[in-house]
Amino acid sequence: MALLLLAITYLAASTLGAPEQVSLNYGSLPSEMVAMWTTVNADSSSTFCEFGTAPDNLDNVVVATRSSYYMASSNYTSPIIFKAVMTGLTAGNKIYYYRVGSPSLGYSNVFSFKSNPGFGASVTPVTFHLLGDVGQTENSISTLEQIVEVESSLTTFSGGIVSMGDLSYANGNQPLWDSFGNMRQFAASQIPMFSITGNHEWFDSKNYDFTAFQQRFDYPLVNGKKELYYSFNVGLAHWVMVSGYCQEMHTVWLKADLAAVDRSVTPWVFVGFHQPYVNSNTAHPMQIEGAPMQQAVEDTLYAAKVDMVFSGHVHAYERSCRVYKYACVGDAPYYVTIGDGGNAEGLATEWVTPQPSWSLVRQASYGHGELTVVNSTHSLWEWHQNQDLYPVVADEFWVIKDVQTTPKARHTREPVFANTERGSRAARYNAMMQTRSAK
């Protein structure tokens, strides 16, 4: 029902010809920001992104490029997709304002954003918002609303949103990409987001070429080409985004990218990919679905002394010790599964018993994560569950360089629901999905 309502909202709005699906991403330089948006109607006149340091003084103008794509399998032609690169920005999370559109078709509202914080020792602390398997449900909106709320109250630099894939759950039903773009606009128009592909992006086109994802999302090039993998620097962190659906192509690049990291500039290295291989949930068994990814990257990540690895795919939250070959090892990465962004398929509520020694905290509840790089030796990881609607951090953990911090007790937790109408709906939905998974 949520997907239907979002689709109806999109169709109603799209008849107006005004800009929709407005989103941001960091550019290739700290002085850049990329804006993307769509319109259903377009003419031959130029379309613009106007920006400046005050909402009533948008004195910088960029002409947008335009593109579209056609999916023969569903006889679908996308809206016109516009892209504009704002340049000459001052890094350091300086506030800018912008709007997009044209005189003939109309303009968007004026949005604001924080510029790229930059990278290096002077840019601390920096907080990243992490999520996976977002979808477009009531829970998806709750997750994004909570991220926006956290962003608005940050006392650190903001490093934007990092997504572990499975975005729209269109699965070939292309208009759902449009409803997804409109659903996330309230967050994506003000907070830049990097993402990687998931299996639902892979399912999206008949020949598995990720057409919609590559057309609708902007991210750094690799050797001048747009690939399904890439890396970027923000603050003291080097992020590596790896696709699980082109392993043969990116393993050589991955080793080279990690080998080139200057740890004196970015001492923290984080890796994101969709399907986890450190996973004690019975959904998407690690020995089956995670095995190819483990074979492709685990030794490389361990050898490079990656600090943390984040995944989605499993619709639950789980955090491990430092793991290598399913054993707690002091110089291995921590692994976090955060595929709990709000998808329509429900939560993955069944866990392997007994809880493996490397699994420290696990819970099937919707939410998102906050990763704050405090300095060159300490980072703080927090997981916010949103289904119970209580503004509390459900899991908090300090990541300390060269230290294996393993608690004496391991936890498998049940979600707690607020005594409200929203909480009751969430509890009923969770019970329904548990019943469905048991059949």
Q: Are 192 and 157 in contact (CB under 8 A)?
A: no
- Residue 382 bridge partners (DSSP): 370, 396
Q: What is the DSSP string of 219-288?
A: ---BTTB--S-EEEEEBTEEEEE--TT-HHHHHHHHHHHHHT--TTT--EEEEE-SS-SS--BSSS-III
Residue 336 and residue 320 in contact, taking contact as beta carbons nearer than 8 Å: yes
The HSE-up count of residue 95 (CA atoms within 13 Å, CB side) is 7
How far is Cα 393 from Cα 125, in angstroms, rounded to an integer?
Answer: 19
Crossing angle of helices 175-183/2-14, nearest 10°? 90
DSSP string, 315-370: SSEEEEEEEETTEE-TTSPEEEEE--S--TT-----B-SSPPTTEEEEE---EEEE
Query: Tokens 């392993």 correspond to what residue?
Result: 247
In the structure encoding, which two tokens stand for residue 243, read together? 């696709």
Catalytic residue among 284, 315, 368, 384: 284
Nearest CA among 143, 139, 169 for reference residue 425: 139
- Dihedrals φ, ψ of 221, to 5°? -80, 155
Which of these, 130, 247, 135, lies nearest to 195 by C-alpha position? 130
- Can the peptide bond before residue 276 be classed as cis, meaning omega within 30 degrees of 0? no
Are 308 and 273 a contacting pair, CB within 8 Å?
no
Rounded Cα–Cα distance for residues 300 and 213 (Å): 27
Encode 200-238: b = buried (16+ Cβ within 10 Å), e = exposed: bbbebbeeeebbbbbbbbbbbebeeeebbbbbbbbbbbb
Q: Tokens standing for 112? A: 């604001």
Nearest to 242 by CA among 194, 209, 206: 194
Give the Cα separation of 359 and 381 in Å (integer): 16
Token pair of 95, please?
């506030």
284 catalytic per annotation: yes
Report the catalytic residues.
284
